[in-house]
């Protein structure tokens, strides 16, 4: 099995896949069927729509797991102009290679990752330059699927006739599933909102925390700080999702990405 394939042999990755399958099966064959009947036109339409969102979520998830986040090219050498105008080139004290801007060393992957956002346990991979778009789109589709599943569940609960139902096992299952799917929806909405904020500011999670420290230090010295890679909301979005809006929601449409060793900055616009 290839190195990429081995990423699936992880308990968290298998847990995410199992959860997606469980939510899909329960939403379609339990709650949607109970609510609208899969044999009816509205039931069939909703089943197709939910299946579409589920497929897009799964495809994006696989893209996150299988796509290499980006490593420092062996031919990389620090840009003299960048070093002179900004700061001295940084060398990784673990990899012993020069680090391009926005590159960080991942202790789990044991290598430097281009434009590293974070190491994600749930995809058994780093989220970096080459797979950040896939990660963002995955969170979007997963959030939409989770909201859809919640709507189906709530609609089923309100229309279900509970009087003839005896015993508590079915009610326990409904309470368990409802708690899980609502909690999942809230978690995904929060995560998606967070990454929308990061995309709009062209910032990674690591840079956000570094920026907070930089702001604090700047305030102490009576100066102001602004994230250097924030070049305007629209340009920030297109630098991550691509210039073609029709391809924004395709996790594998990354032809707009370059080498990931240099990025436009505020200084380039001034």
Q: Are 66 and 7 in contact (CB under 8 A)?
A: yes
Domain with 131 in it: 1-159+175-266
Q: Is the pLDDT of residue 230 over 50?
A: yes
Average pLDDT rounded to a whole number, residues 69-77: 90
Q: What is each CA distance from 239 to 64, 141, 258, 264, 267, in whole angstroms?
A: 18, 20, 10, 9, 17
pLDDT tens by residue, 109-166: 999 999 999 999 999 999 999 999 999 999 999 999 999 999 999 999 998 877 777 6
Give yes or no for residue 94 having a pLDDT over 70. yes
The pLDDT of residue 91: 87
Give residue-wise pLDDT tens across range 257-269. Answer: 999 999 999 877 6
Its pTM stands at 0.93
What burial class does residue 50 get, using C-beta atoms within 10 Å of its C-beta: 0-12 exposed, 13-18 middle, 19+ buried? Answer: buried
Name every residue whose Cβ is closer than 8 Å to that of residue 185 and which is 6 or more positions away in sequence: 143, 146, 147, 149, 150
- The neighbour count for residue 88, using CB atoms within 10 Å, is 8
- Reading the block at residue 136, the tokens are 């963002």
Buried-state track 1-18, b at ≥16 Cβ within 10 A, e below 16: eeeeeebeebeebeebee
pLDDT above 90 for 224: no
Judge whether residue 196 has pLDDT over 50.
yes
223 assigned to some structural domain: yes
What's the domain count of the chain?
A: 1
Q: Compute the residue count for the chain.
A: 270
Mean pLDDT of 200-222: 91
End-to-end CA distance of the chain: 50
Say whether pLDDT at 82 is over 70: no
Question: DSSP string spanning 206-230?
Answer: HHHHHHHHHHHHHHHTT-----TT-
Average pLDDT over residues 27-56: 96
**pLDDT at res. 84:** 44
55's CB contacts (< 8 A; 6+ apart) are none
Task: Find the range with the poorest average confidence among 51-55, 156-160, 165-169, 191-195.
Answer: 165-169
Among 135, 149, 118, which Cα is nearest to 61's? 135
- The reply to whether 169 falls in a domain is no
221 pLDDT band, cuts 50/70/90, is confident
Percent of the chain's residues with pLDDT above 90 = 74
Cα–Cα distance list, 4 to 20, 64, 129 (Å): 21, 11, 17
Task: Provide the annotated active-site residues.
Answer: 120
Residue 79 domain flag = yes
Assess whether pLDDT exceeds 80 at residue 20. Answer: yes
> Of 259, 238, 235, which is closest to residue 102 (Cα–Cα)?
259
In this structure, what are the phi and psi dihedrals at residue 50, rounded to the nearest 5 degrees? Answer: -65, -40
Contact yes or no for 91/99 (Cβ under 8 A): yes
What proportion of the chain, given as a percentage, has pLDDT over 70? Answer: 93
Q: Helix 132-159 to helix 11-26 angle, to the nearest 10 degrees? A: 40
């Amino acid at each position: 099995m290839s190195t990429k394939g081995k990423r699936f042999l992880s308990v968290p990755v298998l847990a995410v896949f199992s959860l997606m399958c469980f939510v899909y099966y329960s939403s379609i064959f339990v709650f949607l069927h109970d609510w609208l009947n899969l044999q009816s036109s509205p039931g069939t339409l909703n089943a197709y729509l939910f299946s579409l969102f589920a497929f897009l979520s799964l495809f994006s998830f696989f893209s996150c797991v299988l796509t290499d986040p980006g490593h420092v090219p062996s031919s990389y050498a620090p840009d003299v102009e960048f070093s002179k105008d900004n700061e001295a080139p940084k060398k990784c004290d673990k990899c012993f290679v020069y680090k391009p801007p926005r590159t960080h060393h991942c202790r789990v992957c044991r290598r430097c990752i281009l434009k590293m956002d974070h190491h994600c346990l749930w995809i058994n991979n780093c989220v970096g330059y080459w797979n950040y778009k896939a990660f963002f789109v995955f969170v979007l589709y997963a959030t939409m699927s989770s909201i859809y599943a919640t709507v189906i569940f709530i609609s089923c609960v309100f229309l279900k006739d509970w009087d003839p139902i005896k015993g508590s096992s079915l009610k326990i299952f409904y309470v368990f599933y409802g708690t899980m799917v609502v909690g999942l929806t809230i978690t995904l909405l929060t995560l998606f909102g967070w990454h929308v904020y990061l995309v709009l500011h062209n910032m990674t999670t690591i840079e956000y925390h570094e920026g907070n420290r930089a702001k604090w230090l700047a305030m102490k010295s009576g100066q102001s700080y602004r994230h250097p890679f924030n070049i305007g909301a629209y340009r920030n979005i297109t630098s991550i999702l691509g210039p073609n809006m029709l391809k924004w929601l395709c996790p594998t449409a990354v032809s707009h990405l370059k080498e990931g060793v240099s990025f436009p900055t505020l200084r380039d616009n001034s």
